[in-house]
Amino acid sequence: MAGNSVRAHIDLRDPAWRAVAGPRTVLLASPRSFCAGVDRAIDTVEELLRRRGAPVYVRKQIVHNVHVVGELESRGAVFVDDLAEVPAGSTLVFSAHGVSPAVRDAAAERGLEVVDATCPLVTKVHAEARRFAARGDTVILIGHAGHEEVEGTLGEAPQRTLLVQSAAEVATLDVPDPSRVSYLTQTTLAVDETAEVIAALRERFPQLRGPASEDICYATTNRQDALRVIAEEADLVLVVGSSNSSNSVRLIELARRCGTPAERIDDAGELRPQWLEGARVVGLTAGASAPPRLVDAVIDTLGALGPVRVAQRETAHETIRFTLPSVTRH
Ligand code: 10E
Ligand code: SF4
């Protein structure tokens, strides 16, 4: 995805910036930035714009990033919160976070042609929710209330699913049959915190069953592993990502749990001189929905303060790609 790199203007005549001028090392976490599900979702909207022209309607933000959304908007994507805003007969893209069956039904009722950009790894969690509920279990979904992915997953079996947000909440769960309980998780949670919640669930429900493979996805896990490595070496960690991006916010929290000061920025324009006081080694990463060019712009901007040595810490190599929805391929 092209677009403005949002390089911040740093004026060294400003004493606050002058005070933090000097050489720095930037430790780049790898993997960082776009995951396969985000690439697929953005490519889907871009391909529809190319093939069909504007407008292309998208339910909610295609991914949780202000720059991605702003750029697609400037090219003719129209993001809506409510299906009633979409003219009958139009094409509607479902965002990468997925939707509940009720939303699918509402789209069908309005006669909309749906192009589903839900990440296949979110779809996998939906399938598990249906399977666990169908075998008669109470499904405990570990996740954050109000998040679009959670609302979609909860909607698969709303009568049988309970949301739990922390280990402390496990004690408050009211379950009809404690011997028939399964858990699922949101895909973008902190791996360490989620393990605590699962341990609390297992303690309370010894017959607890879970998914065959982790619901926290490969991209979330890899970005957290890479973050831990740079947080150990850095004086400050910067995470590029938007405030409503769950996986980006988890990276900030994890850096802080590692004992390293950390700040989230939407772009280089949000850098603040006070964060850089005494920060000679800056760890830099980006959430799965943040474009790589925004990371480059942060490095450029730090370069305005003095020479920057960039070193990468790679903890995994990602090659996974997802096929685009068929309507954008034929
Ligand atoms: O808020 P999230 O981290 O869930 O979403 P995001 O759009 O920032 O990143 C992509 C992650 C998705 C689509 C959820 N699996
Ligand atoms: Fe898919 Fe994981 Fe990316 Fe979410 S964070 S879109 S589940 S790959």
Output the pLDDT for position 4.
54
pLDDT at 243 over 80: yes
Question: CB under 6 Å to ligand 1: residues?
Answer: 37-38, 63-64, 96-97, 119, 122, 149, 187-188, 245-248, 287-289
Output the pLDDT for position 173.
98
Q: What is the CATH number of domain 121-204?
A: 3.40.1010.20
In tens, the pLDDT along 286-313 reads 999 999 999 999 999 999 999 999 999 9
In tens, the pLDDT along 196-212 reads 999 999 999 999 999 99
pLDDT at 116 over 70: yes
In tens, the pLDDT along 22-36 reads 999 999 999 999 999
At the topology level of CATH, where does 15-35+218-314 sit?
Answer: Cobalt-precorrin-4 Transmethylase; domain 1 (3.40.1010)
Spelled out in words, what is the top-level CATH class assigned to the domain 36-119?
alpha beta
Residue nearest atom 1 of ligand 2, based on CA coordinates: 37
pLDDT at 330 over 90: no
Atom of ligand 1 nearest to the CA of 96: 13
Q: Domain residue spans in the chain?
A: 15-35+218-314, 36-119, 121-204
Output the pLDDT for position 6.
63
Q: Do domains 15-35+218-314 and 36-119 have the same CATH topology?
A: no
The whole-chain average pLDDT of the chain stands at 96
Q: Ligand 1 centroid to 309 CA: how many Å?
A: 31
Q: Rounded distance, CA 219 to CA 241, Å?
A: 15
Output the pLDDT for position 242.
98
Catalytic residue among 149, 151, 156, 169: 149
Per-residue pLDDT, averaged over 30-43, amounts to: 98
Q: Ligand 2 centroid to 38 CA: how many Å?
A: 7
Is 113 an active-site residue?
no
In tens, the pLDDT along 127-184 reads 999 999 999 999 999 999 999 999 999 999 999 999 999 999 999 999 999 999 999 9
